[in-house]
Structure 1
Amino acid sequence: MEIGAGEIVAATGPSGSGKSSLIAVIGGLERPTGGEVKVLDIDLTTAGEAARTDLRRRNIGIVFQSFHLVPAMSALQNASLPLMLAGNFEAESEAAKMLARVGLSHRLNHRPSALSGGEQQRVAIARAFAAEPRLVLADEPTGNLDQATGDEVVGVMFDLVRETGASMLLVTHDESLAARCDRTIAIDNGKVRDTVGS
């Protein structure tokens, strides 16, 4: 399978089919056990930990179902974390702009426990996009949200993908969400079974 520049692709399939593993391998979080995985011309099959970390830090944003925010940090600190790790001296300023873009300029100093689920996912989205990644990986980003909140969060995420020109691979069980993507890839037992769309 291939994902083109600026393309939004959904990966669907039953639980245990390998969707989350696909995200982990493409994101450099896990090493592939076979085949070939290239992200932005980096061969993740042979790349070492340092190379995978550098690729992730510079070019990949990840949005998880369970948010993965640091409880002791404010929304602003959470969103600026990847920028700080990359040595960006304007980390908080740039993160504040991204939080404003996702509608949270009034919640910068709130910790995750003081935020709703939708607000926490917006912080996670701001964090994923803060470093202007070329690829965004989203693993069931609406899985812990009600339908209305999930629709709002996805709308924000899609807008950011279109504005920045990033590519996105979105893992979801939600057929209506998959239908909003440019293309859908069906995963079954670790294999690509079908591709629907342009």
Structure 2
Amino acid sequence: ARFRNLEDKQPGFIRGYGFEGGSGFSIFPDSAWDTPGFGGQFKKSVREHAGAFISMGGFGEVLARYENHMDLDPEVKDSWGIPVLRFNYQFGDNEKKMCEDMANAGKEMFEAAGIEVVGVDKNILTEGWSIHELGTARMGTDPKTSVLNQFQQSHDVKNLFVVDGSSHVSASCQNPTWTIMALAWRSCEHLADEFKRGNL
């Protein structure tokens, strides 16, 4: 569920984020990365926390930014001599402020629950880390401001359907897989109907 969706609770950013957590024992505990110390005391501390370690990470909405785009790389070519895609992508101030709030809110929740906080990572992760990349082929009704129509069909190339996350205009904090599947289903039904009518 979305966190920080009340207007009076928004500390300097718009939209919101959600949390996901995990726990469990591992022979190579991730908690060791965040455990302070060195030597024997460090090893002892890692062992003590290994079976009771829990973690929580935030996933925030990423806003569309004009500066973020893809183009053809003028230097790099694939094995057939065709230029490869180049991704030009950076997080904006909104995402950075949201990340800071995620770290502070997560720490606050853990401390309120009586959990010993071993470490807090306030760094925003690398673009592409969460694997659900969305955008670049906006869905809309106006060909001047969008690439695809409501069936994810290209405005310019009528037999081209883009049935993935490209049609999303924003990357929400919720997992987009079900939405991608639902839109793909709708696109396929429309494509089949249009094919039967001889329009494609």
Which range, TM-score by smaller chain?
Answer: under 0.3
Higher helix share: 1
Task: Find the structure with the greater CA-based Rg.
Answer: 2
Higher strand share: 1
* TM-score (norm. length: structure 2): 0.26
